Chain A
Amino acid sequence: MRLFETNERGSVEIQIGEDLQARLEELAERNREWFRRRGIRAFDIAGSVGAGKTSLIAAMVERLSGKHGVAVIAGDVATTYDAERVAGKGARKVLQINTGGMCHLDAKLVYRALEHLPESGLDIVFVENVGNLICPSYFSLGVEARVAVVSASEGSHVIAKHPAMFQSADLVALNKVDIAEAVGMDLDQPVRELETLRPGMRVVKTNCVSGEGVDEVLQALGLA
């Protein structure tokens, strides 16, 4: 039996005291443990719509699939275009998560996808986050590292304008360097801004269409 004293509003105050950040971190840890038990190295590839996340993943899968069992989990609000673009590059499994409106992936959504991966034969998983340079910053997926992909067309101050993403990232791929001049981007500016925000953090300049810089990204992630 529980006894509560009703207040003048005809209600009772229930103490909850639950920290949701701590719960979200527990869910991320569950994913970390899932990967650890299977000897899988997992990476979150985040960035704006059109930054080149899918192109980077496709290029990395192409280079790794001969020696590694790679799986890709692609997150989008809708459609399976990204999964289709990566399929055929040699991944053992490509899964698409449709968030149905949610602006980021979270550890729960990724865990649900993990259950659909093959039980054996994988050692690398790339998770492509929803195209968004803001919201994914706050949700840990329980992976080894996050790569933030930004492109030359996003403006010279893209890093300074989105500090949370670059605080949460471990590596930056500065993509579409081939069009920088055409769109008037000073490629050194984001590098300087990152140095102020995260001193010593690595930036790799890439052109994921030609393949420039992709080996360097793999090297930086310890995958080459």
Chain B
Amino acid sequence: MHEFSIAAEIWGSVARAAREHGGKRVKGVTLEIGALNLIEEEQLRFWLEVLAEKDGSAGVEVKVTTTEGREIKVVSAEVVLPDPPAADEAGERGE
């Protein structure tokens, strides 16, 4: 059952990184989870999907690599960035 709180910590880290980069939606998350954490992967995926959906990132793809240690590493996130301004729009603003 502790998978929910781990998922919440992971999603917090991912959402923060996405925000910092101006991302509008998260498409994928890559994790490395140490086997010693005895985390049930299917439950972790389920909770991450629920949290992502609530945060406007429904359908997030979760990739998990199992390692030997105790780490719970958020390796990277695949993020959709906002569309860049159209060329003429940017020109009008002197960009």
What's the minimum C-beta distance from B74 to chain A, rounded to whole angstroms?
A: 5
On whether the beta carbons of B2 and A19 are closer than 8 Å, the reply is: no
The residues of A that contact B38 with a CB separation of less than 8 Å are 138, 164
On whether the beta carbons of B14 and A16 are closer than 8 Å, the reply is: yes
What's the minimum C-beta distance from A100 to chain B, rounded to whole angstroms?
A: 12
Chain B binding surface SS class:
mixed
On whether the beta carbons of A11 and B80 are closer than 8 Å, the reply is: yes
Q: Is B6 an interface residue (CB 8 A)?
A: yes
Q: Is B52 an interface residue (CB 8 A)?
A: no
Q: Is B77 an interface residue (CB 8 A)?
A: yes
The residues of A that contact B66 with a CB separation of less than 8 Å are none
- Encode A6-27 as 1/0 by CB contact (under 8 A) with B: 1001111111111111111000
Residues from 2 to 36 in B contacting A, C-beta threshold 8 Å: 2, 4-6, 9-10, 13-14, 17-18, 21-23, 27-28, 34
- The residue among A4, A11, A102, A106 with the most chain B CB atoms within 10 A of its own CB is A11
The residues of B that contact A6 with a CB separation of less than 8 Å are 81
How long is the Cα–Cα vector from A23 to B79 in the complex, in angstroms?
23
On whether the beta carbons of B73 and A17 are closer than 8 Å, the reply is: yes
Q: Is B55 an interface residue (CB 8 A)?
A: no
Please judge, given known A-B contacts A12-B81, A14-B23, whether A104 and B5 are in contact too, CB under 8 Å.
Answer: yes
What's the minimum C-beta distance from B12 to chain A, rounded to whole angstroms?
A: 9
What's the minimum C-beta distance from B23 to chain A, rounded to whole angstroms?
A: 7
On whether the beta carbons of A17 and B78 are closer than 8 Å, the reply is: no
Q: Is A103 an interface residue (CB 8 A)?
A: yes
Please judge, given known A-B contacts A11-B79, A20-B73, whether A104 and B2 are in contact too, CB under 8 Å.
Answer: yes
Q: Is A2 an interface residue (CB 8 A)?
A: yes
On whether the beta carbons of A139 and B2 are closer than 8 Å, the reply is: yes
The residues of A that contact B1 with a CB separation of less than 8 Å are 103, 132, 134-135
The residues of A that contact B70 with a CB separation of less than 8 Å are 21
Q: Is B58 an interface residue (CB 8 A)?
A: no
The residues of B that contact A106 with a CB separation of less than 8 Å are 5
How long is the Cα–Cα vector from A23 to B17 in the complex, in angstroms?
15
What's the minimum C-beta distance from A131 to chain B, rounded to whole angstroms?
A: 12
On whether the beta carbons of B77 and A14 are closer than 8 Å, the reply is: yes
What's the minimum C-beta distance from B53 to chain A, rounded to whole angstroms?
A: 17
The residues of A that contact B71 with a CB separation of less than 8 Å are 19, 21-22
Given contacts A10-B80, A12-B81, 13 further A-B contacts (CB under 8 A): A2-B21, A4-B21, A4-B81, A6-B81, A11-B28, A11-B79, A12-B78, A13-B77, A16-B75, A17-B76, A18-B13, A20-B74, A21-B70
- In the assembled complex, 16 residue pairs joining A and B whose CB atoms fall closer than 8 Å, in A order, are A6-B81, A12-B78, A12-B79, A14-B21, A16-B74, A17-B74, A18-B74, A19-B74, A20-B72, A21-B34, A22-B71, A102-B4, A103-B2, A106-B5, A139-B2, A164-B38
